[in-house]
Amino acid sequence: MSSTMSSILNKLRNLDAYPKINEDFYSRTLSGGLITLVSSLVMLFLFFSEFSLYLHTVTQTKLLVDTSRGEKLRITFDVTFPAIRCSLLSLDAMDISGEQHLDIRHDIFKKRIDAHGNVIEVKQDVIGAPKDSRFWNLEISGILTCSSYFTWLRADSRSFQALQDDFESDDDCCNSCEEVQEAYRKKGWALTNADMIDQCKREGFVQKVKDEEGEGCHIYGSLEVNKVAGNFHFSPGKSFHQSNFHLLDLLAFQRDSYNITHSINKLAFGDYFPGVTNPLDGVQWMHENPYGMYQYFIKVVPTVYTSIRGYNIQSNQYSVTEHFRSSEFGRPESHPGVFFFYDLSPIKVTFKEEHISFLHFLTNICAIIGGTFAMAGIIDAFIYHGQKTIKKKMEIGKFG
């Protein structure tokens, strides 16, 4: 039994890949000591680098086909117009599905600013008062009447009967200047003489706009639109449609009201996530001829970010190109404003935070130690044998 065990142990001893050398045969050198010290420092540095990488997360990126349907897209914006007064600035949105939102006011805030950018007043746009009468009422000497406004309509050569029949059948009324403007937009008429309308005169609309002369507007808020291609735009005036054209109700104020010089403080499609870069944040636009249509063509890329803790952030990234078209008044396709045309990419990007696996960490540590030790041995052997060769040649007088 003992002979059998001895035979097995001898066979295992023969498999030893690390044969031991008697200490009497060791030869230690100065170069070997220096190489050992340097290689140890290198191994230590690489070890801590790998350990630091193991403690931190890495982000894995994948590209997938976006199969989502029927979702909403949230757009957050913060834009400053130093030359357009808040009373004239409006925001509209529309998409290829045919859905339109004109003069959006929900979740929209405006700051009146002076020529130096100082805030004069902050207000939130609100929807006008509900309509509760069959006629367009004008308050004259405490009596509600329609005759004054109807008379002005006849003098203005509008289609009085069609307008009256339309709004009597809809149970609508116009108690305010804003409602009169809305009625005009519904009929596809441009309101160019607001100072001739009793509601506007009573509310001092024209005077209020004139009082804001020289002011600018800082507008910010958010929109929620269908997740399809579309556009939203800021324009000086109120929008309406006529004969399938998108038009503006440009009031009869000086041309300076249409100066579209602007700066984009923030524009995001969706929520923030780590590492996102919005290319339009902080962009400023000024031009020697600032009267026209400035267009941003945006490609929105759906993005999903998964954190190391497992929660998902559904958001978007985007790229952008720009174009400016000088204004030609009278042409509906070139009215002044800042337009953002966006389209959705069919490809979705996913970012996922992950830890490096412990086995991968151990593999890298072994590779660091073994690789550094092997390279140090090669360098030491090269130096040692080189020194021996040189010394031998010097002894026999053949060196040099």
% pLDDT > 70, the chain: 68
pLDDT band at 163 (very low <50, low <70, confident <90, very high): very low
* 34 touches 380 (CB < 8 A): no
The DSSP result for 80-94, as a single string, is EETTS-TTTEEEEEE
The DSSP result for 260-305, as a single string, is --EEEEEEEEB---TT---TTTTEEE--SS--EEEEEEEEEEEEEE
Identify the residue with better confidence: 1 or 141. 1
pLDDT in tens, 332-385: 455 789 999 999 999 999 999 887 888 888 998 999 989 998 888 888 888 878
SS3 169: helix
One-letter amino acid at 389 equals T
Sorted by sequence, the CB contacts under 8 Å of residue 308 that are 6+ apart come out as 57, 353, 354, 355
pLDDT, mean over the chain: 77
Segment 297-325 mean pLDDT: 92
Mean pLDDT is lowest, of 6-20, 122-136, 186-200, 386-400, for 122-136
Segment 270-294 mean pLDDT: 89
Residues 348, 353, 354, CA angle at the centre, nearest 5°?
Answer: 130
Segment 268-289 mean pLDDT: 90
pLDDT band at 162 (very low <50, low <70, confident <90, very high): very low
One-letter amino acid at 144 equals L
